[in-house]
Amino acid sequence: MSVIDAAKTTAVAGAALALSLGCLATAGPAHAAAGPGPLIARQAMGQFDSDNPEVRKRMYEGDAEGAGSERNNCNYYTGFWTARENLRWDRTSAPRTGTITNHRACGTSKGQMYVKDHGVWTKKKVDVKWTSRAWCADFAKYTWYWGRAGVSGLNAAADSFRAYGRSHGTWHTRAQVAAGRYRPRPGDVVSYDNNGDGRADHVGVLTSYGSAGKVYHSIEGNTSLERLTYKKRQSATAGRVLGYTSPKTR
């Protein structure tokens, strides 16, 4: 086993303990959960309702001081993926200043990542520099990574989840859900088309699904509130929903 594979294996073992996680309530009749979906849903919910003060800061855009006073697209999750010292650096960059209402420099907060320690990839709590870009996909990708899913091919573009689903055979359209041919699962990523161009421009992570009314609950980043938002009882067949991507175990 390579050093990187060993690090990834260790990450899987420690993922559930990495943060203070909340409980997941799954609505509707039981569905045979496959792969990493349930753990992803717990990761997403944990980012929203954790009592850890460092995790609580992540709910809001801004300067990592909480309260959402800045609202400038500065966020923890983009900072995680664009940190060059991170084992999972996504090879992209993002500005350290705001992009919506001001140009104040983004802040810094504590978080877990794999970094080199005396030449060995080691999971440590480090300072993560918040950076600024649209971050709904960065959040969803983060929950998949710590939830044992493969993230190769995903990037900061919301539509990358739809492309991932098509390439892995895990993409399910709104029409399939409406016809009863697919039932969304916790851990799936829902893709939205808000401008009608046929491509996803926003994504969220499902935490539960009820088949009786075809409704789901989700955690979504970079919403109109400039924060993580817990959305309840969303219609799984609403017109702006393109479909759902299920994760593959890494």
Span 195-232, pLDDT tens digits: 999 999 999 999 999 989 999 999 999 988 788 999 99
In this prediction, what percent of the chain has a pLDDT beyond 70?
83
Q: Are 138 and 155 in contact (CB under 8 A)?
A: no
E strand or H helix that includes residue 172: strand 171-173
Other beta carbons less than 10 A from residue 239's beta carbon:
10
pLDDT of residue 69: 57
170-180: b or e for each residue (b if 16 or more CB lie within 10 Å)? Answer: bbbbbebbeee
Cα torsion angle, 44, 39, 249, 116, sign: positive
Residue pLDDT, tens place only, 83-94: 999 999 999 999
Helices (H), the chain: 3-15, 37-49, 53-57, 76-82, 136-146, 160-168, 174-178
**Cα distances (Å, whole numbers) of residue 45 to 39, 110, 132, 140, 170:** 10, 19, 23, 11, 22
Q: What is the mean pLDDT of the chain?
A: 86
Other beta carbons less than 10 A from residue 30's beta carbon:
6
pTM of structure: 0.85
pLDDT over 70 (residue 80): yes
Residue pLDDT, tens place only, 25-64: 333 333 444 689 999 999 999 999 999 999 999 998 886 6
Token pair listed for 100: 């919506």
**Cα distances (Å, whole numbers) of residue 223 to 95, 184, 219:** 19, 21, 10
In this prediction, what percent of the chain has a pLDDT beyond 90?
73
211-236: b or e for each residue (b if 16 or more CB lie within 10 Å)? Answer: eeebbbbbbbbbeeebbbbeeeebeb
pLDDT over 50 (residue 19): no
pLDDT over 70 (residue 154): yes
d(CA 48, CA 24): 12
Q: Phi first, then psi: what are they for 44, rounded to 5°?
A: -65, -45
Q: 10 CB contacts (<8 Å, ≥6 apart)?
A: 123
Question: Among all chains, which residue has been given the structure tokens 């088949």?
Answer: 211
